[in-house]
Amino acid sequence: MSALIEASGLHTYYGASHVLHGIDLRIEAGESIGLLGRNGMGKTTLIRTVMGHLPPAQGKIVIRGRDNTRTQPHQVARLGVAYVPEGRGIFPNLDVRENLLVAARSGYNGRKDWTYERVLETFPRLTERLGHGGQQLSGGEQQMLAIGRALMTNPDVLILDEATEGLAPLIIAEIWRIIESIRETGVATLIVDRNYRKVLAHTDRCIVLEKGKVVEQRDSATLSSQAQLLTRYLGV
């Protein structure tokens, strides 16, 4: 497998705060990765650095074999990397249909696997809400819309930050079902979620961060059996 994203030696600051300390991240084609760690350990900062929202002070970000360390977020998106941020970021004044269609485009290599019709088949709840504005949707519906909108870009990598935070149990179960179905299509995923058991169950391997450093990186099945490590780094 070839690496779609390969970041090395990333150091990122928020003002005077040194948040990331030499982090490496590699995402292969079709691979599903979990990003674990307590709050404030650097997970979102790592994602935002890779996506171009935060410039690293040191380090290198290579996407599809080319240096994209200083690339702008919209350019990263055009390279086939879709991002569903914490807070979802849907357009509140557009209805569901408009939120989806505004993002519609072919993938990096011209693929059109994720059509409007396919997204609605994947998220049948959205079909019932097509005329509703983004602000009229429940939290779970907004998350489905945010994921559906990301898929409309036909990405090769889908990054989900806090995939199920604040959602009702039934909706959480539906979101994980959808994540698994996306994984089965061959789209690579990078998933952040507080439910580490679900992350481990739906990924190939996991990276654990502590104070802006990678402290563990193992295949998910192995890590799920390491109760002592999980307690040490996740407090569970």
Domain that holds residue 114: 3-234
Please give the pLDDT value at position 87: 85
- DSSP for 75-135? HHHHTTEEEE-TT----TTSBHHHHHHTT----TTS---S-HHHHHHH-HHHHTTTTSBGG
Q: Which of 219, 209, 234, 223 is nearest to 10 (CA)?
A: 209
SS3 label, residue 227: helix
pTM for this structure? 0.94
Please name the residues in contact with 37: beta carbons below 8 A apart, sequence gap of 6 or more.
43, 208, 209, 210, 233, 234
Say if CB 199 and CB 191 are below 8 A apart.
yes
* Tokens (6 digits) for 169: 């149990």
The count of domains in the chain is: 1
| Interacting residues of 74 by C-beta distance below 8 A, sequence separation 6+ | none
For β-strands 3-14 and 58-63, DSSP reports them as: antiparallel
What average pLDDT values come out for the chain (236 residues) when binned by 10 residues? Answer: 89 95 96 95 97 96 95 95 92 96 94 95 94 94 96 97 91 94 95 94 96 96 92 83
pLDDT for the residue numbered 235: 80
* Per-residue pLDDT, 236: 56
pLDDT at 88: 85
CATH (domain of 113): 3.40.50.300
Among positive and negative, which fits the CA dihedral 195, 196, 199, 201? negative
